[in-house]
Amino acid sequence: MVEANGTSLVEMRGIHRRFGDTHALRGVDLTLRAGEIHALLGSNGAGKTTLVRILAGLDRPDEGTVHVRHQLIERFDPKRLRTMGVALVQQHFTLVPTLTASENLVLARPDGWRRGPGRSESARLAQLIERTGLSVRDDVPAGRLSVGEQQRLELLRALDADARVLLLDEPTAVLTDQEAESLLSVCRALAAEGRALAFISHRLAEVFDGADRVTVLAEGREVVRDEPVANHTRSSLASAMIGHESSGTFTDRGGREGSRVDARLVLSGIEVGRLKSIDLSVAGGEIDGVAGVDGNGQSDLEAAVSARVEMKVGKVELDGVTLIPGNPRNRRDRGLAYIPSDRYQFGLVGSMDLSDNLDLGRVPRWRRSRTKRRAGRVDELTLWDVRTSGPGARASSLSGGNAQKLVLARELDGTPKAVLACYPTRGLDPGAADSVAARLVRCANEGAAVLWIGAELDELLAVADRIVVLAGGRLLGPFFPPYDRAAIGLAMAGESHEVTLR
């Protein structure tokens, strides 16, 4: 059954979804119509992925209704929604990497228990390729295909099952420009066949190149609701994505009291992962904010500056001394504090107690007895306001805010010369976020060079003395106060004239 263009295939109404304390979706509507491409925009954590996962049956709404082809969905089950014609192409692919393209197709939709010889399976793939114009090699395992090909294979698999509603979660984030361009033209062709498409994106250019309608989410709410793309300009969407002036819950940077030392923390010519020749010099007594959307090299920058990885090219210097990659104690001894983005993976050992976690990175050759170790940490925990049953509690028992305070207590102890803070307020409630920000501001006031990689633009605007944007592995800017939000927003969306993505 093929619906006429313009018929609505999906109707989501008043969708709410909560995860613990976070309210990911707060009453969102979404309509997808046959023959249309719908762009879903929003910054990290706005709720886009949650929304499409619900539609694909991978998650369920707490409130609200979902109709697919006029049928009310009561049981959210991926298999059921797949048979109803909904297919989701996720950011991480669900192909089996060791199987070839044709084998992946057969696995998803086998013809009986016996498989034909490889020839017949390849022929099936070839037919599908011919029908859709999506080309994929069949002579290597799927894991060795380029990401663009893998994505086309995911699409082929969806089309093999004759999906009428195609959901693409950031399909272009991992693609080269040419691949992204060809994907968009494929999408247009698929829509022309009467399918409904929705894609999540951070790149404004694609929205104007490919989409017919646009919805922008911010903090789980729709700030632009199902409007024709033609009604918008790039800057209107950019400011909608970034959100409006916030109430300023974050600590203002205020006047710096300490003396400003030029070029304390210096990154020169760093190339690793997605980073392309990163140069940055952070002055002592200053907070440099790195804005940008996740996946543009943020994790590589974190790994490089924290000296966790060997770099192909480039080095990190602190007060003129080069940090030794792969030697974390050297980093600490030189005076670089590191607040990792994932505190549970890189900052804390959840199964060990708080006093042990405070020892991490500075444990003496001989340790005192456990009782004395714990007793010796009581004051420190009080000082840093870590609310816990005591130093003997396991780190995994702490709430997010208290876990972060524990990391701060360890890393900011003494007077660090520089601080690398990666998403230091992520996942914290406003009170905790504020106190963490205040601690970092105090570090800068005491003369430390602070490099703050952040996701919340409002927060960076409030605390940073200077903002650079990391997009496509390159640094754009710097921007100085008073900040031009629109300019920063455009740079974050990869729209700056200074840069061509990849």
Partner 1 sequence: MDVLLKIATLEAAIRLSIPVALAALGALISERTGVLNLGLEGMMLSGAFAGYMANEVTGSPWVGLLAGIVVGCGFGALLALAVVTIRANQVVTGIAFTLLASSGTTYLFQLKYSIGQKPPRVDRLGMPPLVAMTLVCVFALWFLFQRTTIGLAMAATGESPEAADALGYRVVRLRWIAATLGGGLAGLGGAALTCGPLGLFIRDVTAGRGWVALALVVFAGWRPGMAVAGAFLFGLSDACQLRLQGTKTDIPYEVFLALPYVVTLAALVLRARASRTPSALAVPFVRGVH
Partner 2 sequence: MNVVATDPPGTPAGGFMAGIGRRATSGGLVSQIVVPVAAVSAALVVGGILIALDGTNAFSAYREVLRAVFVGKRGLSDTATAATPLILVGLGYSIAYRARVFTIGGEGQYLIGAIAGTAWVTAGGIRTWPGFPLVLTGLIVAAIAGAAWSGIAGLLEVRFGANVVISSLMLVYVAGSVLQWAVRTGIRDPDSFVPNSRPLLAAQLPRLPGTNTHIGFAIAMALVPIAAVFMARHRGGFRVIATGFNPNALDANEISKKKVVLMVMLIAGALAGLAGMVETAGSTGRLGAAASVGFGFEAIIVAMVGRLHPIGVAVAALGLAGLTIGFESTQRVLDVPSTLVGVITALIVVFVVIGDALANRGREGR
Alpha-carbon span 123 to 127, nearest angstrom: 6
Minimal distance in Å, beta carbon 80 to partner 1? 11
Binds partner 1 by CB under 8 A, chosen from 84, 108, 173, 186 = 108
The entry of partner 1, partner 2, none near residue 106 (CB within 5 to 8 angstroms by kind) is partner 1
Residue 186 interacts with partner 1 (CB under 8 A): yes or no: no
Which CB atom, from 269 or from 350, has the smaller least distance to partner 2? 350
Minimal distance in Å, beta carbon 339 to partner 1? 28
Residue 78 interacts with partner 1 (CB under 8 A): yes or no: yes
Which CB atom, from 327 or from 397, has the smaller least distance to partner 2? 327
Binds partner 1 by CB under 8 A, chosen from 36, 103, 222, 300 = 103
Backbone angles phi, psi at 478, to 5 degrees: -80, 160
Q: Residue type at 92?
A: H
Residue 114 interacts with partner 1 (CB under 8 A): yes or no: yes
From residue 271, give the alpha-carbon distance in Å to each of 321, 325, 453, 471. 19, 14, 18, 14
Residue 99 interacts with partner 1 (CB under 8 A): yes or no: yes
Residue with tokens 């008073």: 482
Alpha-carbon span 62 to 50, nearest angstrom: 12
Which CB atom, from 124 or from 308, has the smaller least distance to partner 2? 308
The entry of partner 1, partner 2, none near residue 327 (CB within 5 to 8 angstroms by kind) is partner 2
Identify whether the C-beta of residue 315 lies closer than 8 Å to the C-beta of residue 272.
no
| Length of the chain, in residues | 502
The entry of partner 2, partner 1, none near residue 113 (CB within 5 to 8 angstroms by kind) is partner 1
Which CB atom, from 81 or from 493, has the smaller least distance to partner 1? 81
The entry of partner 2, partner 1, none near residue 320 (CB within 5 to 8 angstroms by kind) is none
Cα within 13 Å of Cα(234), Cβ side: 18
Minimal distance in Å, beta carbon 41 to partner 2? 25
Alpha-carbon span 186 to 163, nearest angstrom: 15
The entry of partner 2, partner 1, none near residue 263 (CB within 5 to 8 angstroms by kind) is none
The entry of partner 2, partner 1, none near residue 18 (CB within 5 to 8 angstroms by kind) is none
Cβ count within 10 A of residue 299: 17
The entry of partner 2, partner 1, none near residue 366 (CB within 5 to 8 angstroms by kind) is partner 2
Which CB atom, from 98 or from 371, has the smaller least distance to partner 1? 98
Size of the site for partner 1 (CB under 8 A): 20
Which CB atom, from 140 or from 313, has the smaller least distance to partner 1? 140
Beta strands, E only, 4-80: 8-19, 22-33, 37-41, 63-68, 71-72
| Residues paired with residue 313 on neighbouring β-strands, in sequence order | 271
Identify whether the C-beta of residue 293 lies closer than 8 Å to the C-beta of residue 319.
no
Q: Residue type at 255?
A: G
Alpha-carbon span 502 to 499, nearest angstrom: 9
Residue 396 interacts with partner 1 (CB under 8 A): yes or no: no
Minimal distance in Å, beta carbon 410 to partner 2? 8
Which CB atom, from 322 or from 330, has the smaller least distance to partner 2? 330
Q: Contact positions toward partner 2, by CB under 8 A?
A: 306, 308, 326-329, 332, 338, 340, 342, 345-352, 356, 359-361, 363-370
Residue 96 interacts with partner 1 (CB under 8 A): yes or no: yes
Cα within 13 Å of Cα(53), Cβ side: 15
Minimal distance in Å, beta carbon 323 to partner 2? 13
Binds partner 1 by CB under 8 A, chosen from 14, 97, 430, 481 = 97
Residue 138 interacts with partner 1 (CB under 8 A): yes or no: no
From residue 370, give the alpha-carbon distance in Å to each of 212, 228, 358. 64, 65, 13
Q: Is 408 exposed, middle or buried (0-12, 13-18, 19+ CB in 10 A)?
A: buried
Which CB atom, from 91 or from 445, has the smaller least distance to partner 2? 91
Identify whether the C-beta of residue 468 lies closer than 8 Å to the C-beta of residue 288.
yes
Minimal distance in Å, beta carbon 157 to partner 2? 23
Cα angle: 14, vertex 400, 302; to 5 degrees: 100
Minimal distance in Å, beta carbon 60 to partner 1? 13
Q: Would you state the structure tokens that stand for residue 472, as one six-digit string?
A: 């496509």
Q: What is the DSSP string of 398-417?
A: S-HHHHHHHHHHHHSSS--S
Enumerate binding residues for partner 1 (CB under 8 A).
78-79, 94-99, 103, 106-108, 110, 112-118
